[in-house]
Amino acid sequence: MSDHINELFDKDGNLIGALLTAAAWTEVRDQVMAALGIRETPAVQEKPEPTADWEMLTQYWDFPYPVDMDVTCEHCGSRTENWSEDDPRLFRLTSANLAGLVAFKCMSCQAKVVKKHFKDEIVTECTPYLEEKLTSKEGRY
């Protein structure tokens, strides 16, 4: 057929596929992906958990209540009494700071769970994961 395309047939002579050279694939890849309705999602490598930030928060803990380790996802119902001891993790620590703001990602539904530690109370917010992001809320640098 071509130096760039090799058609593949089964034992009965039915066409079952085709092999493309790298050069041919590079030329037609975007059109093939669009024609098949395949949206490529970039592989996102997760940053390591900021455990040093969590340790610093607990080291300087000055709230009148003990360090709380429980996390609950309001969207899927996932719950743990101690997020740091779960194996595998039910919630992944994504940020922590000395002001008492701690955020987790629910490993079941990808929701964001934020715990705000105030002087007299802890306020928890749970935001569902959105596959399609709102472009008006994207940071531009």
pLDDT digits (tens, 9 = 90+) for 13-47: 999 999 998 888 888 988 988 898 888 776 667 78
In a domain, 133, yes or no: no
Neighbours of 76 (CB within 10 A): 15
85 in the same domain as 22: no
111 in the same domain as 59: yes
Tokens of 109: 């539904």
56 in the same domain as 28: no
Overall number of domains in the chain: 2
Pairing of strands 15-20, 122-127: unpaired
In a domain, 135, yes or no: no
**Sign of torsion over alpha carbons 104, 106, 110, 114:** negative
Quick check: 71 pLDDT over 90? yes
Q: Please give the residue range of the domain that contains residue 22.
A: 5-36
Quick check: 135 pLDDT over 90? no
Residue 114 contacts residue 105 (beta carbons within 8 Å): no
Quick check: 133 pLDDT over 70? no
Cα(76)–Cα(87) distance, rounded to whole angstroms?
19
Total residue length of the chain: 141
In a domain, 11, yes or no: yes
Residue 100 contacts residue 117 (beta carbons within 8 Å): yes
115 in the same domain as 88: yes
Threshold 0.85, pTM exceeds: no
Among 123, 116, 83, smallest CA distance to 99 is for 116
Cα(111)–Cα(115) distance, rounded to whole angstroms?
13
